[in-house]
Structure 1
Amino acid sequence: MDNEFKISNNPTGQELIDDIALITNTIATLSEYVAKTKNILAQADDTYKRIWDMKYLMYSEQYPKINQVKLKAMVNTDDDVVRAKAVLLDAKEKSILADSKYKSWDNRFIAVRKIASIKTTEMQTIER
């Protein structure tokens, strides 16, 4: 959808109306998607922290005399922690992409609104 939309060099009034409708609908859809990705990101972050803490406690009880650097290395390389970290990173990536798409469409909306404002001013000048 992103690659298909282009703002015309000299859009007609109807094209501007159509563009604004398309953009606002797309922004509304993306807004919902951004909210969902942020929620998924928050859940993934909570899960990662919970698993990390559980593994930290588990390893510190198993190896009470281990130094902190080794303990953290054991936790960070634990399979469950690695999987949770991968899910967290994937959620971060999707959230960043969703934000980027939203901002891209928001910028299009600003550009089309500005063009519409210029066209309105032009029409008012011609009518005088």
Structure 2
Amino acid sequence: MENKTKEFIISSNPSPAEIVEQLAYVTNTIAFLTEQISKLKNIMADAEDYYKQLCDEKYLMYSDEYPRTNQVKLKALVNTDDDVVKAKAVLQEAKAKLVIAEGNYKSWDNRYITLRKIGTLKTVEMQTIER
């Protein structure tokens, strides 16, 4: 989807037909990105739930294994556990993808707003010419 973002340029003086065509394209792209964002939010929520659950399980495991260890050391053991590190990497990747998708969405939303404004200006211009 990123390549399409770079390819799509609104001309400085589009015809009414071009505005309609571009609005349809932008609207479809926004719909697609909305679906992607929803999926990414679900993936991120699942990754976050798994990460928290795994941390809790590892904390309990290390607490049983090292009953006399202080909280700081237990936390360090949990945070450096291989499974926890992997789960955190998955969570961070999901967050990064979501941030990119949301930025992409905002970019396309701005294009939509711009096209709508151009369409409004063209309508006013045509009404002025007709008078």
TM more than 0.5: yes
Match of 1:32 among 29, 35, 38: 35
Aligned residues: 128
Amino acid in the other structure paired with 1:75 = V
Deviation string for 1:44-96 (max 9, x for gaps)?
Answer: 00000010100000001111111111110000000000000000000000111
Alignment of structure 1 residues 65-104 onto 2, 5 Å: 65-104=68-107
TM-score if structure 2 supplies the norm length?
A: 0.96
Which position in structure 1 is the counterpart of 2:64? 61
Q: Paired residue for 1:112?
A: 115
Q: Quick one: which amino acid aligns to residue 74 of structure 1?
A: L
* Aligned mates of 1:49, 1:98 — CA distance in 2: 24
After the TM superposition, list the runs of 4 or more consecutive aligned residues in structure 1 that deviate by more than 4 angstroms: none
1:111 is displaced (CA, Å) by: 0.5
Question: Runs of 5+ in structure 1 lacking a partner?
Answer: none
Q: Which runs of 5+ in 2 are unaligned?
A: none
Q: CA deviation at 1:102?
A: 0.8
| Residue aligned with 2:9, SS | coil
For residues 71 and 20 of structure 2, the distance between their equivalents in structure 1, rounded to whole angstroms, comes to 62
Residue 96 of structure 1 aligns with an amino acid whose one-letter code is: V
Once superposed, what is the RMSD of the aligned Cα atoms?
0.5
Q: 1:50 aligns with which of 30, 33, 53?
A: 53
Sequence identity percentage: 60
Aligned equivalent of 2:44, options 25, 31, 41: 41
